[in-house]
Structure 1
Amino acid sequence: MHKITWIGAFLLINNMVIAQEGKEVPQKVDRPKVENRVRRSVNVEPLSPKKLWELGRVTAEGLSKDGSQLIYGVSNYQFEENKSEKNLFVIPVNGGEAKQFTSEAGSESVLKVEGDDILYMFKGQIWKKNLKDGNSIQLTNYEDGLENVKISPDGKHILFSKSVLLKPYYSPNKYEDLPKSNVYIYDNLDYRHWDTWNDGKFNHPFVATYDNGKIGEAKDIMAAEPYYSPTMPFGGAEDLAWAPDGKSVLYVCKKKFGTEYAQSTNTDIYRYDLASGKTTNLTEGMNGYDNTPGFSPDGKMMTWLSMKTDGYEADKNDIYIQDPVSGQKLNLTAHWDGTVNSYTWSKDNKKIYFVAPTKGTVQIFELQIPANLKNMSLPNIKQISSGDFDITGIVGEVKDGLVVTSTKMTRATEVFMFNFKSKSLSPITKVNDQMYATVADTKVEARIIKATDGLDLFSWVIYPPDFDPTKKYPTLLFCQGGPQSATTQSYSFRWNFQLLASQGYIVIAPNRRGMPGWGVKWNEQISKDWGGQAIQDYLSAIDDIAKESYVDKDRLGAVGASYGGYSVFQLAGVHEGRFKSFISHCGLFDMKSWYGTTEELFFANHDLGGPYWDKANEKTYTEFNPSNHVEKWDTPILIFQGGKDYRVPIGQGLEAFQAAQLRGVKSRLVYLPDENHWVLSGQSAQVWQREFFGWLDETLKK
């Protein structure tokens, strides 16, 4: 549910619905064809859960200084050991053979490219290896290891993070004579994050001198402040940055403590001066998330991402620019009706490229940097990529375009060249091509209907391999989490649309209210209305596709996780016989008990309106509370619940299962004691898939 947080100009959606025999019918949207990279093999099979986890997981790690070589990582899951092995590879950007760069047992990630030398992290230490020749050399041997490392531009200092014990929340730290005790003691909130109890340790940034692997005495630049940087629970190296002159560092921090911390999203960007030790708040007065600080290539301009509203984690994300000398700043995307995922500067300092969701996909946009910030002129923003794919990140700019990572619903992440002139993607890596050559294709189509309030409602529809419109298929409504997360052309290793369709199901995935990519108003509409228009959007989508002759109306199911799991619980009480099966993963069942046990209260305060004892929020805790509709539950339901999920704690799944059992409803609980809001263990993920599809076999395939 945390925003962790992936069609634009090419999707020429017109707001008129095609008329046929006096009735409104869905638009079958004509979309540009994207050439498949792999020809279909003669011997193909539907995608299976095991084959899904046998795919290599590709990460773009960086480019050589001249932009001619891409360094990328590939993680491969090993079933027997129940772990992944990641190695680095190098490949020419303009085409050529990939060569393995590292082969040590473990996981490596690129830290910095210095000419032909690659600095990379391995087992918490910095290593070096030459692109052309040479052996791996371990440069550092820092006690306890290094995390979130950034080396200064001049190479003379190092910035990294480590945890510091500041509060005796854990009994062995409070009572040293009881070292074998296992007790936590709290006087305020912020007592746990995501899947971890607060043991009194706080992430802090440290700086030290650095000389080719030799690290001097490290200084905690936040001293004894009980705050987190990088931020919890998902902050990383993007929360730390060096100023271009190497004389100061920037760090992101929410300088609030305890109960106040749990109710706020107000992070700021701070500058710490190495010489004076002085800390300055660069975003004071900006009350939402401020994050991802960076600088133009020439070092003259600072940029960062910012949200406006304190407590609203899914607020519009804007790009800010500031002249560090004059202090003049400008919101570059204030006038644009969208939200930014990530950004990067052009090499000539004249543009910023950014990635953002738009109408069911995630695409590249560009904006021109204003010549003068003082006149407050807002730049023209232009979408430059389009197609049935997601651009998941920009690696860097090269001579003819951008090196990017991209996915489709039927293809996992690979690295591509986006050509500025042709506006097309061409593959650089082809890690999974051979595997996909053995996988049966699943057709994906866009579909637009009218929602109950008259607005266009877009959905993705994924069809089984060898789809035959003369047959009838069981059909699944996919309910997205978030709730302000996009359903785009992303590729999941659990909620995988290709995998769902490959088991013989049609899947419909609506871009219901609350999803980015359809304007700020559409995105905001779900807040304080969880059980309202968004649920109606789901019902509109499934009712419409159920009119198709190839959909078996007696075999409809609804599945989802997080807010999607909430949606399943809510639908179970209001669906009026539409569905024959439900699956909810880590869903919110009782809004009162959820408000009383979730950890980031700013989310609950904004999206639900606040606590249940405030009468102004009565509708949230009555009409929009799934537990209040249990008397209408009469449909089989499968419930997954993670034991270490503190965002949607264990009680939610247990309460729902117990209610279903006592109601006499066919139900099953799959409890994953070592998993959080997700399923991260490979073997547990295989159990999850088997139970998921086994349940559908029991309830929909008959």
Structure 2
Amino acid sequence: MKIKSIFMTIAIGAGLLGCSTGQESKGDKPAGKQPGEVIGKASVTIQDGRMTPEALYSFGRIGDVHVSPDKSQLLYQVTYVSIKQNKTNPELFIIAADGSKKKQLTVTNTRESNPQWIENGKRIAFLSDESGSPQIWTIHPDGGGMTQISNVEGGISGFRFSPDGKKILFYKDVKVATSAADRYPDLPQASGRIVDDLMYKHWDTWVENVPHPFVADLNKNKLSNIKDLLEGEPYESPMLPFGGIEQLAWSPDGKTIAYTCRKKTGREYAVSTNSDIYFYNVETGTTTNMTEGMAGYDTNPLFSPDGRYLAWQSMERDGYEADKNRLLVMNLSTGEKAYITEHFDYNTDAFIWNADNKSLFLIACVEAKTHIFSADVQTKEVKLVTQGVHDYTSVALGDGKLIATRQSMSQPTEIYSVDIASGNATELSFENKDILEQIKMGAVEERWIPTTDGKKMLTWVVYPPDFDSTKTYPALLYCQGGPQSAVSQFWSYRWNLQMMAANGYIIVAPNRRGLPGFGQEWNEQISGDYGGQNMKDYLSAIDALAKEPFIDENRLGCTGASYGGFSVYWLAGNHNKRFKAFLAHAGIFNLEAQYLETEELWFANWDMGGPYWDKLNTVAQKTYATSPHRFVDKWDTPIMITHGELDYRILASQGMMAFNAAKLRDIPARMLIFPNENHWISQPQNGILFQREFFRWFDEWLK
């Protein structure tokens, strides 16, 4: 499991330039092809300073950021949204390392992504679907010379050039399932799927294709000698559903490719998180398992600049996807492994090597703020680099500085330059400055609230803009999903706490038991205790805030998604009339059904304790005894349910069961079903619909 009142005029910018496949265009203007309206940066006028769904979907979304080889420029991606067209459109930008000379490289109706510097900064490579499928293209930094260099059947999902630029590592989907038409050629229109084992579906697709890594020679802007590193093997690399190019890496000498792979299929895959790091010898074609015998996730390999070491993220226990994400380093000469974050009781969310080959920079969430740290390979000392109430989401090496992306509950992602010695950060991109200047954000307060077992819990409180302490406000308890995902200073386009506050609600967002950032013991407590201490933590948070004179204790609501949706269903039967309205998205209603419906069974086995039919398993029996569906007889409060029918993590039937139960008990209920969404809500118009219905529901019952 481990995601109105004012209408605005949004002017979409358009750019028109010619570009033919395989030919070079010249000049320093943005490259483009198709005529007509191009989804670009929104021009927004906000009348009263209040965030609206339309304003939220007007922000430019900064993605990959890459520092040029000479450290003088930054290459990055921004995705724009069109509510009218119900589409998104990524474009490419360059900016000087000091934040000056911002330039848009592409203005097209196609999707540009995965940008990177090549030829020592003389050219830029990226993916574009201009020719009909995602292929590798190159362009000059001045915006001219856009050229297609790959023509791989089915398209490419991600890529990296070798250090010498003579080879390309890429990954694409390959077919692994036998269809009915393959088995019975005389039935070409038969649509039935023949299933013989588990893991037949994953996240939001049926597992008929999996990604494989390939290596190819690059000669005169063409690929040749293409080799599948997993030829004839039914395994995936990168790993589904979220793995990308970060799970593949070149050695500095270009002789070795490191890749992440869980070499399992079917039932064995469904119950295990045991992935490994493999080395593929480019010259001989031989493969070596470098982490054999290590039981949990091993992911994201990265060679040191001198090639002597390999760093990667590793979890110790098989089947536990929320185990501590450790940072490990291997001496490639001796094979010796060092546990760098052994004395650091927090996850490593991302990392890079320092140029000295002796230290690394890592990103970790500590007490609900995500910061950059330095780690010494020899001493294993981890030191804090940055400070402040925000989340850093990526880090790269600049010229004596770090180049990082950062967000908070009050600001979407922007690019920053970070002084390593002081930790001071300077914003560079200002992609959303014009919109942010028009919006009044509510104050965000950090509170430490006592729990029922004598501990302290950090709870974020977000106040409405222009908050007046002499007035009373309705409040919403925000229940986090995951279940082990931090309630940090995140910015979300689905669960935006400032959006909720802008609609006149005080938001209470506790870092309840079972969340990272407060040590592994706090994080692990939730396993096997879904209806236990963390539910008490939720109630401790809302009870503490409800005592404030500016919160109306008779107008409390509760909402959340995924495990947060489970929390809403559970609290609906155990809240002792605290709440006046509930809203659950993609939540688990019936744990027994969930055990057999979900695809990643390692998750259900670890968190629930095992199958419900194991009567001798006390942990499992305790879990199923506290399933939300067992408390429906105590439901007495209006509830709204939303769900996506492409959600194979938590099936839409869970939401439908909850809705049916409420209606059969004559409880006011509403359901919003998305036939074309998965565990999240990603399409712009569906996102706007969700926001409007979200507030229509709570306004009906809390205002």
TM score, norm. by length of structure 2: 0.91
Q: CA deviation at 1:122?
A: 1.1
- Please tell me whether the aligned partners of residues 612 and 624 of structure 2 are also in contact (alpha carbons under 8 angstroms): no
In the TM superposition, residue 155 of structure 1 has moved relative to its aligned partner by 1.8
Residue 613 (structure 1) aligns with: 613
Greater than 6 Å deviation, 4+ residue runs: none
Give yes or no for the alignment of 1:326 onto 2:331: no
Please state whether the residue corresponding to 1:574 is helix, strand or coil. Answer: coil
Secondary structure at the aligned position of 1:517 is classed as coil
Q: Summarize the Cα distance change of 1:332–1:421 in structure 2 as closer, same or farther, 3 Å threshold.
A: closer
Q: Which residue is equivalent to 2:461? A: 461
Question: Following TM superposition, by how much is the alpha carbon of 1:61 offset from its aligned partner in structure 2, in angstroms?
Answer: 2.6
Judge conservation of contact 1:116–1:132 (CA < 8 Å) in 2. no
Residues paired across the two proteins, number: 654
Deviations, residues 224-281 of structure 1 (Å, cap 9, x unaligned): 1121111111111112112222122111111112111100000001111123221110
Q: List alignment gaps of at least 5 residues for structure 2.
A: 4-44
Instruction: Give the C-alpha shift of residue 129 in structure 1.
Output: 1.7
2:202 to 193, 208, 226: 193
SS at match of 1:363: strand
Hey, what's the Cα distance between the residues in 2 that align with 1:368 and 1:658?
56
Residue 461 of structure 1 aligns to a residue in which SS? Answer: strand
What is the distance in 1 between the residues matched to 2:143 and 2:610?
Answer: 60
Give the match for residue 361 of structure 2: 353
Confirm or deny that 1:305 pairs with 2:306.
Answer: no
Please give the per-residue CA displacement for 1:492-511, whole angstroms capped at 9, x wherever unaligned.
00100110000000001000
Report if the CA contact (8 A) 1:166-1:224 is conserved. no
Partner of 2:595: 595
After superposition, the C-alpha distances for 1:629-688 in whole angstroms (9 at most, x for unaligned) are 000000000000110101001110011000000011000111111000000110011111
Task: Answer with 683-692 or 61-70: which moved more.
Answer: 61-70
Query: How much has 1:43 moved relative to structure 2?
Result: 6.0
Per the alignment, in what secondary structure is the counterpart of residue 612 of structure 2?
Answer: coil
Question: d(CA) in 1 for partners of 2:438 and 2:176?
Answer: 54
Tell me if the contact between 1:126 and 1:213 (Cα under 8 Å) persists in the aligned partners.
Answer: no
The 5 Å alignment of 1:359-378 reads: 359-370=367-378, 378=379
Aligned match of 1:506 = 506
Could you report, residue by residue, the CA deviation over 1:192-248 in whole angstroms, capped at 9, with x for unpaired residues?
Answer: 00000122x332222222224211132222121121111111111112112222122
Q: Check the 8 A contact 1:64/1:116 in 2, yes or no.
A: no
Q: Which residue of 1 aligns with 2:582?
A: 582
CA contact 2:75–2:116 (8 Å) conserved in 1:
no
Structure 1 residues 229 and 60: CA distance shift in structure 2, 3 A: closer
Verify the 8 A CA contact 1:206 1:221 in the aligned structure 2. yes
- One-letter code aligned to 1:652: Q
SS at match of 2:514: coil
Q: 1:474 to 1:224 in 2, by over 3 A?
A: same
**Residue number among 136, 144, 160 corresponding to 1:134 in the alignment:** 144
**Matching residue's letter, 1:682:** P
Aligned equivalents of 1:502, 1:494: Cα separation in 2: 15
Is the CA contact 2:105–2:142 (under 8 Å) kept in the aligned structure 1? no
Pick one of 142, 147, 155 that aligns with 1:145: 155
Aligned partner of 1:223 in structure 2 is 231
Q: Residue 553 of structure 1 corresponds to which residue in structure 2?
A: 553
State the alpha-carbon separation in 1 of the partners of residues 240 and 297 from structure 2. Answer: 13
Letter in 2 for 1:117: R
Which of 66, 70, 89 aligns to 1:66? It is: 70
* Structure 2 equivalent of residue 693 of structure 1: 695
Instruction: Give the structure 2 partner of residue 663 of structure 1.
Output: 665
Distance 1:42 1:233, change over 3 A: closer
Which residue does the alignment assign to 1:14? none
Task: Give the stretch that moved more between structures: 653-662 or 422-431.
Answer: 422-431
Aligned to 1:640: 642
Deviation for aligned residue 1:174: 2.0
Q: CA deviation at 1:90?
A: 1.1
How far off is 1:158 after superposition?
1.8
Aligned ranges for residues 73-152 of structure 1 at < 5 Å?
A: 73-109=77-113, 110-114=115-119, 115-123=121-129, 124-132=134-142, 134-152=144-162
Please give the alpha-carbon distance, in whole angstroms, between the structure 2 residues aligned to 1:547 and 1:619: 36
CA contact (8 A) 1:460 1:510 kept: yes
- 1:499 to 1:306, Cα distance in 2 relative to 1, 3 A: same
1:676 to 674, 678, 681: 678
SS of 2:573 mapped into structure 1: helix
Paired position in structure 1 for 2:301: 293
2:355 paired with 1:344: no
Say yes or no: does 1:183 pair with 2:192: yes
Give matches, 1:26-65, under 5 Å: 44-65=48-69
Deviation at 1:618, TM superposition (A): 4.6
**1:156, CA displacement in angstroms?**
2.0
Tell me, in whole angstroms, the C-alpha distance in 1 between the residues paired with 2:622 and 2:188. 45
Provide the residue aligned with 2:625 in structure 1: 623
| 1:50–1:686 CA contact under 8 A, matched in 2 | yes
- The whole-number CA distance in structure 2 between the counterparts of 1:214 and 1:205 is 18
CA distance in 2, matches of 1:147, 1:85: 16
**Where do 1:174-573 residues align within 5 Å?**
174-199=183-208, 201-370=209-378, 378-394=379-395, 396-573=396-573
Q: 144-153 or 126-135, which moves further after superposition?
A: 126-135
- Determine the structure 2 residue equivalent to 1:20: none
Letter of the 1:147 partner, please give it. S
TM-score by length of 1: 0.91
Contact 2:442 2:502 in 1 (8 A): yes
**Distance verdict in 2 for CA 1:399–1:206, change over 3 Å:** closer
Partner of 1:7 in structure 2?
none
What is the one-letter code of the residue matched to 2:194? I
Shift of 1:398: 1.8
Question: Partners in 2 of 1:159 and 1:637 — Cα distance?
Answer: 50
CA contact (8 A) 1:47 1:499 kept: yes
Report the alpha carbon displacement of residue 113 of structure 1 after superposing the two structures with TM. 3.5
How far apart in 2 are the matches of 1:96 and 1:208? 37
Look up the SS of the partner of 2:108 in the other structure: coil
In the alignment, the residues of structure 2 paired with residue 451 and residue 194 of structure 1 have an alpha-carbon distance, to the nearest angstrom, of: 35
Letter in 2 for 1:155: G
Letter in 2 for 1:381: V
Secondary structure of 2:544's match? helix
Q: Does the CA contact (< 8 Å) of 2:248 and 2:260 recur in 1?
A: yes
Distance in 2 (CA, whole Å) between partners of 1:405 and 1:262 is: 34
Matched AA of 1:177: D
Question: Residues 112 and 119 of structure 1 are in contact (CA less than 8 Å); yes or no, is this contact kept in structure 2?
Answer: yes
CA distance in 1, matches of 2:651, 2:356: 49
Distance 1:514 1:98 in 2: 42
CA contact (8 A) 1:156 1:209 kept: yes
Between 511-520 and 78-87, report the one with greater CA deviation: 78-87
Cα distance change, pair 208–43 in 1 and its aligned pair in 2 (3 A)? closer
CA offsets per residue over residues 401-454 of structure 1, 9 Å max, x none? 211000010100000111123322110000111111111121000001110000
Matched residue type, 2:116: L
Contact 1:338/1:516 (CA < 8 Å) preserved in 2? Answer: yes
- CA distance in 1 between partners of 2:116 and 2:184 (Å): 40
Q: Deviations over 1:506-543 (max 9, x none)?
A: 00100000111100100001110111000000000000
Q: CA deviation at 1:133?
A: 6.0
C-alpha RMSD of matched pairs (Å): 1.5
Residues 274/198 of structure 1: CA separation in 2 closer, same or farther (3 Å cut) = same
Report the residue type matching 1:649 in the other structure.
L
- Who is 2:16 aligned against? none
Measured after TM superposition, the shift of residue 621 of structure 1 is 4.3
User: Measured at CA, do residues 212 and 349 of structure 1 come closer, stay the same or move farther in structure 2, by a change above 3 Å?
Assistant: farther
CA distance in 2, matches of 1:518, 1:621: 24
In 1, the alpha carbon distance for the partners of 2:408 and 2:422 equals 20
Q: Secondary structure at the match of 2:246?
A: helix
Greater shift after overlay, 230-239 or 612-621?
612-621
Shift of 1:489: 0.6
